[in-house]
Structure 1
Amino acid sequence: MMHLKVGDKAPDFSAKDEQGNTVSLSDYKGKKLVVFFYPKASTPGCTAEACNLNDNFERFQSQGYEILGVSADSAKRQSNFKNKYGFQYPLLADEDKSVIEAFGVWGPKKFMGKEYDGIHRTTFVIDENGVIADVISKVKTKAHADQILDS
Structure 2
Amino acid sequence: MSLAPQTEQNRRTVARYWDEVWTKGNVSAIDDFCADDFKQFYPLHGAISGKENVKKMLSGFRESFPNLSFTLLLPIPLIAENDYVVARWIGGGKHTGVPCLDLPLGGLPVPNSGREMRFSGTTIFTLRDGKIVDEVGEESGLLALQQLGLLAQKKK
TM-score by length of 2: 0.26
Structure whose alpha-carbon radius of gyration is higher = 2
Higher relative contact order (CA 8 A, sep 6+): 1
Structure with the higher fraction of residues in strand conformation:
2
